[in-house]
């Protein structure tokens, strides 16, 4: 994509965001003058930008919306701002289409007519129009200065400095006649370029001047370099450890090396966290988008819905935030369309007429957990089972309610009686699930009929450097993140109580079942010799899926703590649910990073399955 | 392998084969032998051959997936060609030596397929020239009296599907 156009799109997206935010304020407080000014400013800037790229249709549309808005905020009602909100959303969609198109083209854009209230008849007065056109000239000049000064080849034929006032009529003609021919646009562009290049270093008080827009890929490149330094640091640390005997005669030299190593570690760590911070954005944008979706739906459907957000100040990696918006919107739309009942139905069930949809975000260990909670009618397992049987899923009859409910994530599965523009096509939930799985995340649903429904999404945080405990299991090293370990120690085998094949360890007065990993992981041939050891290495780990719950894992040996640079599993690797990533140790060996929670889930499933098979046998 | 090197190889091959119309055109290929199984691979998908790479096996056994290796900071999965072709899986590298350590193999051949890089173990590797036409076919080819299974473009394009 053309860099200039990409930069324009980024700015335009920011302007639409600003427009949306201002409209949100006006919906709450119609007539709020500052917010209204922000609306006009955003529309005006967008109009100028579109004009520079000859996107006439949308440019005219912005102009039309501006005209409908007029100058007086107090004339408009909440209904008007809801209409304005829908136009802002159209602009958002338009920008997305333009981004997909990859180059500026005059894509069609139509303004939905505003027929309510007096605003429909608002026309700009002569004076206003004059101001508007002057503004337009200034705006076009500003936009052109911003974009065209970056392309020196476009200024190769320097035009004589042009007096802005003398050029104003030319601009007036172009805008008032809604230019369609390229020659007219060229007419406006050339003098503007000349004007811009004549004063390129004009100081501006605009806040953007203190910012530099950097692409995520560039930040990623910097991060990759930092991780290389980090791994080199690990190797230095390993070499110091290996060379310790050589320093016997010179302990001061060893101390100097250790101090340097420690200082390097701190500096690389700081550098890494600073760069990681550059990628972090607050979730507030996603929350605002959700609130707008709910507001629009409630307005058109006749349902009363309140949106509540918890955790909007949490900051996450930009890629995660961007990729979460669509699945969340889908879930919220489903909740509004299928979950929340009409006010009279809710009243008849003894509920408040206003349904509540809550989006809750929290960080737990190395995961971000998002919950979309509604207090609607919930999912009815009987209806889903019936639908599944009708779709030919014969096993549905034997499934538990929880298993049946999770069928909603199957492709083509929808229990909606009619397809609306919101949901019901049955192509959404499986897309949501596969999208989340592509982010190494997961989704589960919990539902209580007539109480509501909760969708729980877990996404691993992009953690680059992980403090881990290196454990040996049957002579192979594995890393387990510190965040999931509560305690780690070596105990005497006699401290483990046996009950049949199971072993238990009393932890804080409670018996904890011990999951012996040496039995599940690839074993050495001399494994039997190892197991009769008197000592047992135990890790008490927290179950991140159940708050407050913990488990005991038995490993062969607890080796050491180490900071590891996490790498994703490469493609063509067989995915193992409990392997959350890989890393490279200081001696060059690759090591698997295990997720304790998922490992326990897998072990429990295996045991259940084995028990089921033996009982059936 | 870098493209320019592949081009030089191809030019040499063309020169040697005379490159005349009607003459069989030869292309460079790599033969891979391991535990009695033989493969011949399209040279253009070869990334490099590593000596004595340490394989870290997966915590769970999978038929075609053996483990991972560190290729200068990049993690590369190691696959078992025998399992991919439904041959004797005992030939896979995922086993351990008598001490229970993951086996070290004399050579790891690293390929770069459209779906990503992967490595296969080999006792012997050798460069050779094979007729282009035969290399484009699926199945087997005879080179110097021995039968080799062909790893051509079709194989590399289907990697993702094969390992799934």
Q: Looking at residue A313, what is its pLDDT?
A: 85
Contacts of residue A51, Cβ cutoff 8 Å, sequence gap at least 6:
A59, A136, A140, A143, A175
A567: left (phi over 0), alpha (psi -120 to 50) or beta: beta
Structural tokens at position A305: 């819905």
B115 touches chain A (CB under 8 A): yes
CB contact under 8 A, A573 and B77: yes
Looking at chain A, the whole-number percentage of residues with pLDDT higher than 70 is 77
List the single residue in B59, B76, B159 with the smallest CB-CB distance to A570. B76
Q: How close are the terminal C-alpha atoms of chain A, in Å?
A: 63
Cα–Cα distances in Å, from B110 out to A169, A260, B36, B74, B107?
68, 38, 20, 12, 10
Q: Decide if pLDDT at A158 tops 50.
A: no
Q: Decide if pLDDT at A151 tops 70.
A: no
Q: Looking at residue A365, what is its pLDDT?
A: 65
Q: Cβ distance A344 to A307 under 8 Å?
A: no
Lowest pLDDT segment from A25-34, A141-150, A364-373, B113-122 = A141-150
Average pLDDT on B13-28 reads 64
Q: Looking at residue B10, what is its pLDDT?
A: 61
For residue B161, name the pLDDT band (cuts at 50, 70, 90).
confident
Q: Looking at residue A279, what is its pLDDT?
A: 82
Residues 436-475 of A with CB under 8 A from B: 473-475
Q: Looking at residue B13, what is its pLDDT?
A: 57
B161 touches chain A (CB under 8 A): no
A494-515: pLDDT as tens digits: 888 888 888 899 988 888 889 9
Q: Looking at residue B150, what is its pLDDT?
A: 93
CB count, 10 Å around CB of A282? 13
Residues A73, A79, A83, CA angle at the centre, nearest 5°? 90
Q: What CA–CA distance (Å, rounded) separates A566 from A540?
A: 23
List the single residue in A520, A524, A578 with the smallest CB-CB distance to B100. A524
List the single residue in B68, B96, B100 with the smallest CB-CB distance to A582. B68
| Extents of the domains making up chain B | 3-163
Strand partners, A445: A455
Looking at chain B, the whole-number percentage of residues with pLDDT higher than 70 is 75
To the question of pTM greater than 0.80 for the whole model, the response is no
A575 touches chain B (CB under 8 A): no
Structural tokens at position A357: 């949809």
A328-349: pLDDT as tens digits: 888 998 899 889 999 999 999 9
Q: What CA–CA distance (Å, rounded) separates A406 from A388?
A: 11
For residue A553, name the pLDDT band (cuts at 50, 70, 90).
very high
Residues B61, B62, B67, CA angle at the centre, nearest 5°? 75
Q: Looking at residue A529, what is its pLDDT?
A: 44
Maximum average pLDDT range among A140-149, A422-431, A592-601 = A592-601
Q: Looking at residue B118, what is its pLDDT?
A: 94
How deeply is A382 buried, as exposed, middle or buried, from its count of CB atoms within 10 A (0-12, 13-18, 19+)? exposed
Q: Decide if pLDDT at B98 tops 70.
A: no
Structural tokens at position A404: 């049946």
CB contact under 8 A, A574 and B58: yes
Q: Decide if pLDDT at A145 tops 50.
A: yes
CB contact under 8 A, A576 and B54: no
Helix (H, G, I), strand (E, B) or coil at B135: helix
Ranges assigned E (strand) in B8-114: 26-34, 37-42, 46-51, 56-57, 65-71, 74-79, 107-113
Q: Looking at residue A343, what is its pLDDT?
A: 93
The residue of B54, B56, B59, B111 whose CB has the most chain A CBs within 10 angstroms, and thus the best one to mutate to test that interface, is B59
Cα–Cα distances in Å, from B151 out to A279, A572, B43, B63, B141?
42, 17, 10, 19, 10
For residue A413, name the pLDDT band (cuts at 50, 70, 90).
low
Q: Looking at residue A469, what is its pLDDT?
A: 94
Smallest Cα distance from A542 to chain B, Å? 21
Looking at chain A, the whole-number percentage of residues with pLDDT higher than 90 is 12
Q: Looking at residue B90, what is its pLDDT?
A: 57
Q: Decide if pLDDT at A161 tops 60.
A: no
Q: Cβ distance A447 to A338 under 8 Å?
A: no
Average pLDDT on A477-487 reads 90
A54-108: pLDDT as tens digits: 888 888 888 888 888 887 878 888 888 888 888 888 898 888 888 888 777 778 8
CB contact under 8 A, A590 and B99: no
Q: Looking at residue A172, what is its pLDDT?
A: 31
Structural tokens at position B95: 């086993």
Q: Where is pLDDT greater, at A137 or A562?
A: A562
Average pLDDT on A399-414 reads 76
Break chain B down into helix, strand, coil percent, rounded to 5.
25, 45, 35
Maximum average pLDDT range among A157-171, A450-464, A550-564 = A550-564
A103-125: pLDDT as tens digits: 777 788 888 887 765 444 333 33
For residue A616, name the pLDDT band (cuts at 50, 70, 90).
low
If you average pLDDT over every residue of chain A, what do you get?
76
Q: Does domain B3-163 have CATH number 2.40.50.180?
A: yes
Average pLDDT on A560-565 reads 86
Q: What CA–CA distance (Å, rounded) separates B109 from B121?
A: 6
Q: Looking at residue A421, what is its pLDDT?
A: 45
Q: What CA–CA distance (Å, rounded) separates A514 from A554?
A: 6
């Amino acid at each position: 994509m053309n860099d200039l156009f990409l930069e324009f799109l980024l700015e335009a997206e920011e302007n639409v965001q600003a427009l949306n935010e201002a409209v949100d304020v006006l919906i709450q407080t119609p007539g709020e003058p500052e917010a209204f000014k922000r609306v006009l400013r955003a529309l005006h800037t967008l109009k100028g930008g579109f004009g520079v790229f000859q996107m006439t249709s949308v440019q005219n549309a912005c102009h039309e919306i501006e005209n409908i808005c007029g100058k007086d905020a107090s004339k408009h009602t909440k209904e008007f701002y809801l209409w304005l909100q829908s136009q802002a959303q159209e602009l958002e969609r338009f920008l997305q289409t333009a981004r997909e198109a990859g180059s500026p083209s005059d894509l069609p854009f139509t303004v939905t007519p505003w027929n309510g209230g007096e605003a429909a008849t608002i026309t700009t007065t002569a004076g206003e129009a004059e101001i508007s056109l002057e503004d337009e000239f200034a705006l076009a000049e500003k936009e052109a200065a911003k974009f065209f000064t970056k392309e020196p080849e476009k200024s190769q034929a320097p035009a004589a400095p042009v007096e802005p006032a003398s050029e104003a009529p030319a601009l007036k003609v172009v805008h008032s006649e809604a230019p369609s021919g390229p020659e007219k646009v060229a007419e406006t562009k050339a003098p503007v370029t000349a004007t811009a290049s004549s004063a390129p270093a004009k100081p501006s008080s605009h806040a953007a001047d203190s910012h530099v827009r950097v692409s995520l890929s560039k930040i990623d490149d910097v991060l990759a370099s930092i991780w290389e330094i980090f791994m080199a640091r690990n190797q230095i640390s390993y070499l110091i450890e290996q060379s310790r005997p050589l320093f016997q005669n010179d302990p001061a030299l060893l101390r100097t090396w250790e101090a340097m190593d420690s200082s390097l570690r701190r500096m690389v760590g700081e550098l890494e966290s600073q760069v990681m911070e550059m990628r972090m954005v607050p979730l507030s944008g996603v929350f605002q988008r959700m609130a707008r979706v709910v507001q629009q739906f409630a307005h058109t459907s006749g349902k009363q819905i309140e949106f509540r957000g918890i955790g909007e100040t949490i900051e996450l990696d930009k890629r995660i935030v961007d990729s979460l918006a669509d699945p969340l919107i889908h879930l919220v739309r489903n909740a509004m369309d299928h979950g929340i009942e009409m006010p009279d139905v809710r009243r008849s069930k003894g509920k408040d007429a206003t349904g509540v949809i809550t989006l809750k975000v929290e960080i737990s260990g190395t995961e971000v957990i998002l919950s979309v909670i509604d207090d609607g009618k919930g999912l009815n397992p009987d209806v889903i089972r019936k639908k599944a049987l009708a779709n030919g899923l014969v096993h549905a009859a034997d499934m538990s309610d929880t298993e049946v409910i999770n069928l909603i994530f199957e492709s083509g599965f929808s229990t909606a009686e009619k397809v609306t523009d919101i949901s019901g096509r049955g192509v959404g939930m499986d897309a949501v699930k596969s999208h989340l799985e592509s982010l190494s995340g997961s989704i589960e649903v919990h539902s209580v009929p007539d109480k509501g429904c909760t969708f729980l999404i877990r996404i691993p945080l992009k953690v680059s450097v992980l403090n881990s405990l290196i454990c040996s299991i049957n002579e192979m090293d594995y890393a387990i993140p510190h965040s999931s370990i509560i305690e780690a120690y070596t105990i005497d085998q006699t401290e483990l109580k046996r009950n049949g094949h199971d072993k238990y360890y009393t932890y804080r007065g409670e018996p904890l079942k011990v999951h012996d990993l040496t039995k599940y992981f690839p074993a050495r041939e001399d494994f039997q010799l190892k197991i009769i050891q008197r000592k047992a290495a135990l890790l008490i780990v927290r179950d991140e899926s159940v708050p407050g719950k913990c488990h005991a894992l038995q490993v062969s040996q607890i080796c050491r703590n180490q900071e590891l640079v996490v790498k994703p599993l490469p493609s063509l690797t067989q995915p193992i649910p409990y392997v959350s990533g890989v890393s490279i140790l200081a001696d060059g060996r690759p090591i698997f990073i295990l997720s304790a929670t998922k490992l326990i889930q897998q072990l429990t499933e295996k045991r259940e399955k084995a028990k089921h098979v033996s009982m059936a046998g | 392998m870098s493209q320019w090197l592949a081009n030089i190889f191809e030019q040499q091959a063309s020169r040697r084969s005379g490159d005349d119309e009607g003459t069989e055109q030869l292309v460079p290929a790599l033969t891979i032998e391991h535990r009695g199984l033989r493969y011949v691979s399209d040279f253009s998908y070869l990334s490099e051959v590593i000596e004595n790479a340490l394989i870290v096996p997966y915590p769970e056994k999978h038929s075609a997936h053996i483990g991972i290796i560190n290729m200068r900071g990049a993690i590369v999965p190691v696959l078992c060609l025998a399992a991919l072709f439904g041959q004797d899986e005992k030939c896979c590298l995922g086993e351990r030596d008598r001490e229970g350590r993951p086996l070290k193999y004399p050579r790891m051949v690293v390929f770069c397929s459209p779906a990503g890089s992967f490595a296969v173990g080999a006792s012997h590797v050798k460069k050779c020239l094979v007729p282009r036409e035969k290399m484009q076919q699926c199945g087997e080819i005879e080179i110097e009296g021995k039968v080799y299974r062909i790893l051509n473009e079709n194989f590399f394009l289907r990697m993702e599907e094969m390992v799934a």
